[in-house]
């Protein structure tokens, strides 16, 4: 599953993670993610997020530039 880590983390904290209560807060969850997965764990899903954001940003940038030109 491709997902940006902040979204995944917030869902795990809000839902209580699993029945063992492993996700007890944002800071503890971030520390646990760092210990278990390292830097790669924080970057997982970021490529897909960039693919989603780049077209939106390109359209927004172009629209703002054109509007500023006409003003």
Mean pLDDT confidence for 26-34: 86
Question: What is the reported pTM?
Answer: 0.46
pLDDT of 1 reads 43
CB-CB neighbours of 9 under 10 Å: 19
Mean pLDDT confidence for 1-28: 64
With the C-alpha atoms ordered 33, 36, 37, 39, is the resulting torsion angle positive or negative? positive
Give the pLDDT band (50/70/90) at residue 64.
very high
Q: Report the alpha-carbon distance of residue 66 to residue 37 in Å, rounded.
A: 44
Mean pLDDT confidence for 42-58: 89
What is the helix (H) or strand (E) element at residue 70, kind and residue range?
helix 46-70
Domain ranges of the chain: 5-70
């Amino acid at each position: 599953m491709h997902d940006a880590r902040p979204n995944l983390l917030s869902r795990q904290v809000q839902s209580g993670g699993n029945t063992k209560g492993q996700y007890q807060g944002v800071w503890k969850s971030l520390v646990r993610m760092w210990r278990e997965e390292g830097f790669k764990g924080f970057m997982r899903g970021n490529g897909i997020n960039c693919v989603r954001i780049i077209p939106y940003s390109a359209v927004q940038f172009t629209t703002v530039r054109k509007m500023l030109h006409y003003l």
